[in-house]
Structure 1
């Protein structure tokens, strides 16, 4: 297995799951080697450097994907548009397009950086704005694969059926890295869903349709 790794808090439960699931030293080494922000992992996946990854929704349309994804219903806190000059977040692919669809002006900020930024500045939550407009959850990314479909579908299904408890030592690492408290991290994780069901697929279809219009 060669899986791309995005070091964001919203994938922390999956990281804990994979640490136990990856059996061989080679698999673990590959997972640790292929790390990066979403836009970087998208490129690695598209070039075939990784077999599977959590791929931005805007990129996922061209690939086979499981029902495991990054989903937010009503709000997410980690995908924002903040006051100031209109700027994309270089770490993102999907969120920059989402901001354009919602006609939001300002700086797009995603991931753990956004969780800190929202404490210092009044920013708009893009998942909340999407929900207000369409009444649907937003799918930011999907777990997609280029090969070994049965193996990766089985992995995704196993994760969705699991109940993950984050070990104290891992939580301590993420607290130090993000500057957030354990309570803030846990509260944030309650906003993240991982199952891409009927409503999520409906939302994804709508997003991709609107994104296509922007690129015309």
Structure 2
């Protein structure tokens, strides 16, 4: 099984849990096989070049997906619109459509670079948090991505499903590694991860349905 890895901080708990709980060393290597950013992984998944990945919600509608995702109940900190003219983030699919739905102008930035921008500028009014705006408008969480499969590995799927039942403790050496790479502190990373949930339940499914309807109205075919 080929699993694509989005190496953003918001999936750090998932990868820590999977590597710790998969039963064999061979299986533990599958999540390291292909690393990329969301929009590129979406294309590879559609071409069936990878077997499983977290797929952007906007591209996941007709996919075989689990009830695991990347979710913000309110603000997310890592999907922002900066002041200025509208400019897509080439790494994203879902966030660009979300900005259109919310009628937001500005430069869209996602992932770790958005998180860094937030902590450096959180006292300013130079950005808008798209998940917070969605929640304010529709009183729903926002699902940014879903864990989807072209081909199942039963052990991997069962281990993934158990992930949402636990609060994952990230080892200090891994936190320090990500802190050094990103320029954030370990405290900032942990603060951010408190904003992210992973279980797609009733409200999250309602949010997905609402997003798909609005996306079709605003963006046509996707």
Superposition TM-score, scaled by structure 1 size: 0.94
2:172 aligned residue (162, 168, 173): 168
Matches of 1:200 and 1:72, distance apart in 2: 10
Give the aligned length. 216
| Equivalent in the alignment of 1:95 | 95
Matches of 1:67 and 1:151, distance apart in 2: 16
Contact 2:22 2:155 in 1 (8 A): no
| Equivalent in the alignment of 2:32 | 32
Q: Which moved more, 1:93-102 or 1:16-25?
A: 16-25
| Equivalent in the alignment of 2:106 | 106
Q: Which residues of structure 1 form unaligned runs of 5+? A: none
Residues 1:67 and 2:67 aligned together = yes
| Equivalent in the alignment of 2:190 | 186
| Equivalent in the alignment of 2:206 | 202
Contact 1:5 1:53 in 2 (8 A): yes
Compute the RMSD of aligned alpha carbons.
1.6
Matches of 2:147 and 2:22, distance apart in 1: 16
1:177 aligned residue (152, 167, 181): 181
For residues 50-95 of structure 1, the C-alpha deviation after alignment (integer angstroms, 9 at most, x for no partner) is 2111110001101111111001011000000001221000110000
| Equivalent in the alignment of 2:82 | 82
Contact 1:145 1:152 in 2 (8 A): no
Matches of 1:15 and 1:127, distance apart in 2: 23
Q: Which residues of structure 2 form unaligned runs of 5+? A: none
For residues 114-163 of structure 1, the C-alpha deviation after alignment (integer angstroms, 9 at most, x for no partner) is 01112236210000000110000000001011122754542321111233
Superposition TM-score, scaled by structure 2 size: 0.92
Shift, 1:22, TM fit:
3.9
